[in-house]
Structure 1
Amino acid sequence: MIIGNKLKAIRTTRNLSLDEVSKLTGVSKGMLGQIERGQSNPTVSTLWKIATGLKVSFSLFTYENQEELKIICQNNIAPILENNDKMKLYPIFPFNANNGFEIFTIELEPSCNHMSPPHNKGVEEYIIVTDGEIEVSIAEKSFTLKKGNSIKFMADKPHTYRNLTSTKSTFQNIILYFK
């Protein structure tokens, strides 16, 4: 329900109709209404479309408050699921406007292929593989990253994360919105 409440608050604050939000995000008016009413949980791709279209951070939709000190236990975080539950995204450190970044742990099951739409211009992504091996494709180039490998890229191009192995792969995803 956090996601729906945040979406409605943004829409109301900006005095936008569901039709206008639909045009900005590419998400249907019906789906937006279901999300606002708590009748549907958006997929990762849908939530990215909404965040990008409204020019807000992804994790704005997944956190409730900011604290001065907080210890995070991933087991206590309900993941956002995608690709028939083959991708689990854990919002570890949600977006903080003062810092301009957010951090996720992402788990990809074998054969998971997640396509991420381009983010807004100037957004950077940092990937740190902590377990297994993934392939990251950015525009037309692909890179194989194993445990201990990292990559930084401008995320305003289509990019894909793939697990081509037979075991689960895990990586940290840091998204920097501004400097």
Structure 2
Amino acid sequence: MEHEQIHKKIGKSLQAIRKARSLSLDQVAELTGVSKAMLGQIERGDSNPTISILWKIVNGLRISFTSLIEEEPAKVTHFRFENLEPFVEEEGRYRAFPLVPFDQQKRFEIYTVEMEANCTHISEPHNEGIEEYILMMQGELDITIQQKTYTLKVGDALRFTADQSHIYTNKTDQKTMYHNIILYPS
């Protein structure tokens, strides 16, 4: 797919931002000190604005410079399990696949974890405010937090603050699989 020329992208972004804020070209001209005619040319992609004009626009609208050239996030993202490289511990018997990577805006990440039979994994305490959500998909899992053990079966979920040591144990003779959602404080 051919990349769009930068001035066309800036024009589309500026127009989208202006419409999202219900501003007229006159109002944007007033906020930015850039003429209505110039703003119209920029939005249509007819003008390749100078950096100083772009700075007037971003300062007047109180937006970041890159917000004029950022790619719009995809409405659909397909994360394929088969393409993932796992983090491996316990001699390969504990595998954490980064299914949905961390996103600065959303503040979470999702792993698919596989644990072989009779495998134990000790997790160090995470930073304060971090929460974990465990959603069981296959097998059975014991999670020990502050000397209390919770047994999860298929379909179960567990939420806990992860700023304390926690131990994952698959005591069964079959593989266990679960999703681990890690939520970071803002």
TM-score interval (norm. to shorter):
0.5 to 0.7
Report the count of equivalent residues: 114
Which residue of the other structure, out of 115, 129, 138, is the alignment partner of 1:131? 138
Equivalent residue number for residue 114 of structure 1: 121
TM (norm. structure 2) is 0.59
Q: CA deviation at 1:178?
A: 1.4
- Greater alpha carbon shift after TM alignment, 66-75 vs 113-122: 66-75
Letter in 2 for 1:131: Q
| Long gaps (5+) in structure 2 | 1-71
1:78 counterpart SS class: coil
1:82 partner letter: E
Counterpart of 2:92 in structure 1 is 85
1:55 aligned partner: none
- C-alpha root-mean-square deviation of aligned residues, in Å? 1.4
Pick one of 141, 146, 149 that aligns with 2:156: 149
Identify the residue that residue 65 of structure 2 maps to in structure 1.
none
Q: Distance in 1 between matches of 2:124 and 2:84?
A: 24
Q: Which runs of 5+ in 1 are unaligned?
A: 1-65
Matched-pair identity in %: 39
Q: Corresponding residue for 2:171?
A: 164
User: For the residues of structure 2 that align with 1:117 and 1:139, how far apart are their CA atoms?
Assistant: 12
Q: What is the CA distance between 1:70 and its match in structure 2?
A: 1.9
In structure 2, distance between residues paired with 1:162 and 1:75: 25
Shift of 1:67: 5.5
CA 1:67–1:86: 2 relative to 1, 3 Å: farther
Moved runs in structure 1, 4+ residues, more than 6 A? none
> Residue deviations 1:93-124, cap 9 Å, x none?
11111001000000000011000000111110
